[in-house]
Amino acid sequence: MVFENITSTLNKVCDILELGQVERKVLLDFKRIKREKLEVEGKKYEAFRIVHNDSLGPGKGGIRYHPNVCEDEVKSLAFWMSIKNSLAGLPYGGAKGGVKVNPKDLLKEQIEKLSRAYVRAFHEVFGEDTDVPAPDVYTDSEIMGWMLDEYEKIKGEHRPGMITGKPLVLGGLEFRKDSTSKGGYVVFREMLSKLGKKKVTIAVQGFGNAGYNFAKFADRGGFKVVAVSDSKGGIYNKSGLDIDKVKEAKDKTRSVSKHEAKKITNEELLELNVDFLVLAAMENQVTKDNANKIKAKHILELANGPVTSEADRILHGKGTKVMPDILANAGGVIGSYFEWVQNKTGNIFEEDYLEKRLEKMMKENFQKVYDLHTRKKIDMRTAAYVIAVQRILEAEKARGNL
């Protein structure tokens, strides 16, 4: 289902660019698909590492631990990373990894064993100039630290640039922690500027790292966040939520739903009458079945693939603007890029320099997409894909592969 969304969008782009079968094949081919079975304490787990395209540079993409991980999903995410990195102008191809597991069922020691087993299974394809992983769903800097340690033990030398999103003491970057949300917030403000609005209401689905930090930035920026949710439910207050207090409740009880506010479901949050709906949970949240019920006029995708291609058509048809994942959540991989460059060069960047660089890159990317979207009268996702695909194909031509 997930990869069908990609091929649907890609077919539209190929038609707009009048691409032939050779170009289509290049865009749909995968550089490397590697599958392994990891064994931890007698249990086996399916694991994947996939590189879609590396014409622009080494593969780059996260590793997720989730019970729904499958090859179709990881392929889709790797493809998205190719498009996202290309659109952002980064010297990366697209990659992704995952383990089919519910980490909530494991003890911390078991998660560490699983993480080290993953590196042992895939270490031959990892490297700062071949394929660079990072955190994703239910993985974090601590897990990246274990992975780096296992990799360096195998290689017998320090190679901090092989992974990003790691602990600061191992060469990580403080800026990387909330760079996804920072980038998304820049896109949000740029869209507000186009709309000429200063006051809007916002609902945020997903209260993990990306969703919480975006809500925090919006709240501190004077915008009214009226609803948030996590996997256990949501809350709503038409006067606006105190995000710091919601975070306190989440930390204490493991769910935002324990905060004192009106209880709502995730489904109800999606259908609220707000100006901006921020999707920061999982893929396929807005589908053909609920797209017509979406009242928000603007959707910001902090998660990967939260709107299906069928829903895209419905939303575009009724005038809803979707700021696509490959644009809106690119701050995360830009933050990873800064960390990777720092590891490769030995330079230590000032925080304010990185802030300015991220903002400049996100604004430029937004403007490119918005200009093509308005000029060609196509939705913003298609516009983003057109720009990204053209750069990938230029790289393939420069290499003599087209």
Active site residues: 96
Q: Specify whether the CB–CB gap between 74 and 115 falls below 8 A.
A: no
The helix/strand count (H/E) of the chain reads as 14, 13
* 255 closest CA partner among 220, 201, 212: 212
CA pair distance 331, 319, nearest whole angstrom? 26
Q: Read off φ and ψ for residue 235, nearest 5 degrees.
A: -135, 155
Exposure b/e, 350-383, CB count within 10 A at least 16 = b: eeeebeeebbebbeebbebbbebbeeeebbbbbb
Beta bridge partners of 321: 298
Q: Specify whether the CB–CB gap between 217 and 193 falls below 8 A.
A: no
Exposure b/e, 317-347, CB count within 10 A at least 16 = b: eeebbbbbbbbbbbbbbbbbbbbbebbeeee
Q: What is the DSSP letter of 226?
A: E
CA pair distance 365, 194, nearest whole angstrom? 14
Torsion of CA 140, 141, 145, 147, to 10 degrees: 30
CA pair distance 143, 108, nearest whole angstrom? 10
Q: Read off φ and ψ for residue 307, nearest 5 degrees.
A: -115, 125
